[in-house]
Chains A and B, each alone.
Chain A
């Protein structure tokens, strides 16, 4: 009995060991990213159809662990990664550590093919390190029913009639008082720099990072303090909820409790699927007397320098970023904006019609923002540390911390974190 047990377990181990990785062939490209495999299936199918005999093996890494996992594996020169997705503000840090292959010979091609704000984010120290796949924008969604009950005229979808934050808050307040709204205004990424950068930028406060090497914090400018004071008051005044995390906010709008919601194009699909919800879309607001600024940026793709399949990896990148057809396929399964200009133009009408009458105007806003108001996140080798510190800062301010003191503290923390990078 014991003998057979021992034998069985040995066999099991051997059998398990035998199921090795048979797919490490010369024509199999391994591709890593945080998205659901369904997202990339169309572009993978498209590429494989154009390149018979080539296979793309995609592996999903949980979003929260993507950066640490990549860091560890790329530092160990893991050649089982060929192509991977790069969060655009992290391009500099990854390039500085030698984790991205140089693509500078594509500079002109990428400049021509990509949307205006989508070339620079891939450049660091004069070289091109990754190719833009997606970009993003933010809209102001509003609940038609709540505004109607409050007797508020909803904002127009015309970018020329963009509302200010002040006007949005006032209308939201009325919807709370008379329309039965639980919350006046919720920014989707409630503690994320991606979304909140637009507030100080609109008031001329800058991105928060300055200097020729982009390693000096500038968080205590007048614009930053004013913007963060406004942000704190949003929560202190009961206009927006505390205790709800980024990306847990959209269910609140779906349930019809929120008058205004600042969210991305991906929400068009989600809100469109909610049957009883009547909503519309308007341009992302700005501060009165300030600049019109909208968040932008998304993901690029890059090549691992340790990969043994550089040529094939470049072909895949070329297809997904520079070929409009391939780039459009990356957006087929989830509503995100293609970064390739020609793909973008084809995509706009799709987004406009995604939720019928409700999403009308989204395409026009998207086109206008991409050319006029989009401001990308700063390019700095220290962005990763900066973003972490800012997330905590925003959380504290949201929970009532004094904006000026907290921003000064954040600036000190950033300086300490960057000391070793200088």
Chain B
């Protein structure tokens, strides 16, 4: 009996959390003036659009937002691929090799992700401007590449790989790059997935940085295109909701796809 009660309670709480998102979804399927029609008196029509339309999504695809989503995807994917290589190499250096100052170096890595990015964004933007990186993809991608948290996650995972395995490979004549590419990387898929997701989310939601380095329309990212839809005098709420849904669904799909690896990695990073 109490078990059923708990299930019911959990369902109600779950629905309460999902409700705003469902409302946004249903609003994105309505025409402009219909959105606020059913809000002052709650009824089933508040959540179910009377005549659903995909017009808002159509308008998004043709406007600046479509381009911005592609830009966001490009920036995030390049960051994930290049960032993972850099972070994994750094983590490998910090775990498999032994050298003087290793502890200090690791401390710097940990410190680097404890400082919020927004705190260093302004001076960093000035540097990027001097290097002529304003309004370029490189300017958008570079700050996301070396991510302290990704290095930390990977290093913890790498530490769990038995030293004997490395020793055996070395005796068999495998170089350090071989050990890294053929032993460490294939064994660390869960950790790579979680580090990759960290990098992806960092870029997907970046907002202050693209504004600081003067991103023009050609290089605009999704969150900024979404904010730009809020005009000064009029707001197209239908498109705004549709844009929010698109921006939410893409990372959601990616997380769902890699969910299994992600939970696995969290469960095993602490193990030796």
CB-based contact A5/B137 at 8 Å? no
Q: How many residues of B contact A (CB 8 A)?
A: 42
List chain B residues, Cβ under 8 A from A13: 78, 82, 138, 141
Q: How many whole Å from A253's CB to the nearest CB in chain B?
A: 11
Q: Is A78 interfacial (CB-CB < 8 Å)?
A: yes
Q: Which of B136, B181, B228, B233 is the one whose CB lies under 8 Å from A20? A: B136
- Interface size on A, as a range, is 35 or more
User: Could you tell me which residues of chain A, from 1 to 15, have a CB within 8 Å of some CB in chain B?
Assistant: 2-3, 5-6, 8-10, 12-13
List chain B residues, Cβ under 8 A from A6: 85
Q: Name the residue of chain A whose CB is nearest to the CB of B84.
A: A9
Q: Which of B36, B125, B136, B185 is the one whose CB lies under 8 Å from A19? A: B136
Number of A-B contacts (CB under 8 A): 115
List chain B residues, Cβ under 8 A from A3: 181
Q: How many whole Å from A161's CB to the nearest CB in chain B?
A: 28
Q: How many whole Å from B100's CB to the nearest CB in chain A?
A: 28
Q: Which of A2, A37, A255 is the one whose CB lies under 8 Å from B37? A: A255
CB-based contact B233/A255 at 8 Å? no
Contact mask A52-80 → B, CB, 8 Å, 1/0? 00000111111111000100110010101
**Chain B binding site: helix, strand, loop or mixed by DSSP?**
helix
Q: Is A49 interfacial (CB-CB < 8 Å)?
A: no
Q: Is A274 interfacial (CB-CB < 8 Å)?
A: yes
Question: In the bound complex, what is the Cα–Cα distance between A76 and B227 (angstroms)?
Answer: 24
Q: Name the residue of chain A whose CB is nearest to the CB of B223.
A: A62
CB-based contact B217/A34 at 8 Å? no
CB-based contact B81/A16 at 8 Å? no
CB-based contact A76/B234 at 8 Å? no
Q: Is B149 interfacial (CB-CB < 8 Å)?
A: no
CB-based contact A36/B81 at 8 Å? no
User: Could you tell me which residues of chain B, from 129 to 167, have a CB within 8 Å of some CB in chain A?
Assistant: 129, 132, 134-138, 141
Question: In the bound complex, what is the Cα–Cα distance between A29 and B135 (angstroms)?
Answer: 14
CB-based contact A10/B82 at 8 Å? yes
Contact mask A26-46 → B, CB, 8 Å, 1/0? 000000001111000000000
Q: Which of A17, A23, A65, A251 is the one whose CB lies under 8 Å from B36? A: A251
User: Could you tell me which residues of chain B, from 59 to 77, have a CB within 8 Å of some CB in chain A?
Assistant: 64, 74-75
List chain B residues, Cβ under 8 A from A9: 78, 81-82, 85
Q: Is B214 interfacial (CB-CB < 8 Å)?
A: yes
Question: In the bound complex, what is the Cα–Cα distance between A266 and B235 (angstroms)?
Answer: 12
CB-based contact A63/B136 at 8 Å? no
Q: Is A177 interfacial (CB-CB < 8 Å)?
A: no
Question: In the bound complex, what is the Cα–Cα distance between A264 and B78 (angstroms)?
Answer: 46
Q: Name the residue of chain B whose CB is nearest to the CB of A334.
A: B233
Contact mask A229-254 → B, CB, 8 Å, 1/0? 00000000000000000011011101
User: Could you tell me which residues of chain B, from 210 to 240, have a CB within 8 Å of some CB in chain A?
Assistant: 211-212, 214-217, 224, 227-228, 230-235, 237
List chain B residues, Cβ under 8 A from A16: 74-75, 78, 136-138, 141
List chain A residues, Cβ under 8 A from B211: 61-62, 65, 69
Q: Is A86 interfacial (CB-CB < 8 Å)?
A: no
List chain B residues, Cβ under 8 A from A64: 227, 230
List chain B residues, Cβ under 8 A from A252: 36
CB-based contact B233/A336 at 8 Å? yes
CB-based contact B138/A20 at 8 Å? yes
Q: Is B122 interfacial (CB-CB < 8 Å)?
A: yes
Q: Is A182 interfacial (CB-CB < 8 Å)?
A: yes
Question: In the bound complex, what is the Cα–Cα distance between A62 and B225 (angstroms)?
Answer: 8
Q: How many whole Å from A256's CB to the nearest CB in chain B?
A: 10
Q: Is B179 interfacial (CB-CB < 8 Å)?
A: no
Q: Which of A80, A251, A270, A334 is the one whose CB lies under 8 Å from B214? A: A80
The 3 closest A-B pairs by CB, nearest first: A62-B227, A17-B138, A16-B137
Given A65-B227, A251-B237, list of 14 further CB < 8 A pairs?
A2-B185, A5-B81, A9-B82, A10-B82, A13-B78, A17-B136, A20-B136, A35-B231, A35-B232, A37-B64, A59-B217, A63-B230, A72-B125, A334-B233
**Could you list which residues of chain B lie within 8 angstroms of chain A, going by C-beta atoms?**
33, 35-37, 40, 64, 74-75, 78, 81-82, 85, 122, 125-126, 129, 132, 134-138, 141, 181-182, 185, 211-212, 214-217, 224, 227-228, 230-235, 237
**Could you list which residues of chain A lie within 8 angstroms of chain B, going by C-beta atoms?**
2-3, 5-6, 8-10, 12-13, 16-17, 19-21, 23, 34-37, 57-65, 69, 72-73, 76, 78, 80-81, 182, 247-248, 250-252, 254-255, 257, 264, 266, 270, 274, 334, 336
Residue contacts A-B, CB under 8 angstroms, 22 given? A2-B181, A6-B85, A9-B82, A9-B85, A13-B141, A20-B136, A23-B216, A37-B217, A59-B215, A60-B228, A62-B211, A62-B230, A64-B230, A65-B227, A72-B122, A72-B212, A73-B214, A252-B36, A255-B33, A257-B40, A266-B233, A266-B234
